[in-house]
DNA sequence: ATGCCGTCCGAAGGACGA
């Protein structure tokens, strides 16, 4: 079973890119982030034609998450907080496992209310993970965490000092998730691989200079960590015309 | 470097991203 995560930075602007990547990668499940469209305006027909079932939790202009799957999807939840209008979470069951798709808040600037919002959002995610672990549910959490876990996960750590993606408070939330017993699928299989980035800014030739960061992740519950076969970052979509600033990460599980 | 680019909304240029 191949599960992919891709922050597409607008599903409408990225439709040809996403469809050609789907055709090449052939994932069984896909978690999309930053679809930037209301639920009712999602381009459903194009993904149905590619033989995917679909769950969409959208929002006008910003944020928004969606899930595609070859097998039927059953929605469990689309929020960590009923008072939060931002569409950043989608939890569903497919093929007997629980898949959580996240678009965690950016949190910049750190002096603004956006940073405590980010930390609070991550606390709610940690609470949800604790609950699922206690219930011994096989699950994974994938998506755009907006966290650079370690200095080796960015090209230029000095440049990220003080940024919400690299602040000690943000990295501590990541560590808490890992210390609950979740496995960073990529680092479990590639512990020392450098330049393993999933995002390159559009500005200042970041892609051409490989000035990237690793912020899109897959965390596995213990039951699924035992089934981990491979985890790869697919750099190819980032080099295409009209690319997203993120590129997909794919994990393969032997269920 | 409050810079660089891209997308959204809406019809110019500000908000937002990372």
> What are residue A30's DSSP bridge partners?
A4, A68
Residue at minimum CA to C1' distance from nucleotide B8: A61
Give distance CA A136 / C1' B5 (Å).
44
Whether this prediction's pTM lies above 0.85 is answered by: yes
- Which nucleotide, over all strands, has the C1' atom closest to the CA of A202? B5
Nearest to A6 by CA among A158, A93, A157, A20: A20
Distance CA A190, CA A143 (A): 19
DSSP secondary structure code for residue A9 in this structure? S
Distance CA A80, CA A88 (A): 9
What separation, in Å, do the N-terminal and C-terminal C-alpha atoms of chain A show? 7
- Judge whether A144 and A195 are in contact, CB under 8 Å: no
- Judge whether A216 and A244 are in contact, CB under 8 Å: no
- pLDDT, one tens digit per residue, over A59-100 is 999 999 999 999 999 999 999 999 999 999 999 999 999 999
- Which nucleotide, over all strands, has the C1' atom closest to the CA of A37? B8
- pLDDT, one tens digit per residue, over A96-144 is 999 999 999 999 999 999 999 999 999 999 999 999 999 999 999 999 9
CATH topology of domain A2-253: Deoxyribonuclease I; Chain A (3.60.10)
Burial class (CB in 10 A: 0-12, 13-18, 19+), A227: middle
The sign of the CA dihedral A142, A146, A150, A155 is positive
- What integer pLDDT is reported at residue A171 of this predicted model? 98
């Amino acid at each position: 079973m191949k599960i992919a995560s891709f922050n597409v930075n607008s599903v409408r602007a990225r439709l040809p890119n996403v469809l050609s990547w789907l055709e090449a990668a052939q994932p069984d499940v896909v978690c999309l982030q930053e679809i930037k469209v209301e639920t009712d305006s999602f381009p459903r027909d194009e993904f149905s034609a590619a033989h995917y079932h679909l769950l969409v939790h959208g929002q006008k202009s910003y944020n928004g998450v969606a899930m595609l799957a070859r097998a039927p999807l059953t929605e469990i939840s689309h929020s960590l907080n009923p008072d939060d209008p931002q569409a950043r979470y989608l939890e569903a069951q497919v093929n007997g496992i629980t898949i959580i798709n996240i678009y965690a808040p950016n949190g910049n600037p750190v002096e603004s209310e956006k940073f405590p919002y980010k930390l609070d959002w991550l606390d709610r995610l940690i609470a949800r993970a604790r609950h699922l672990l206690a219930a011994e549910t096989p699950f994974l959490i994938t998506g755009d965490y907006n966290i650079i876990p370690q200095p080796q996960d960015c090209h230029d750590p000095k440049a990220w000092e003080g940024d919400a993606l690299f602040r000690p408070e943000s990295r501590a939330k990541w560590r808490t998730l890992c210390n609950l017993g979740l496995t960073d699928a990529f680092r479990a299989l590639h512990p020392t691989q450098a330049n393993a980035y999933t995002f390159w800014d559009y500005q200042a030739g970041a892609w051409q200079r490989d000035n990237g960061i690793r912020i899109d992740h897959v965390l596995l519950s213990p039951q699924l960590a035992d089934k981990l076969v491979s985890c790869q970052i697919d750099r190819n979509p980032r080099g295409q015309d009209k690319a997203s600033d993120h590129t997909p990460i794919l994990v393969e599980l032997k269920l």
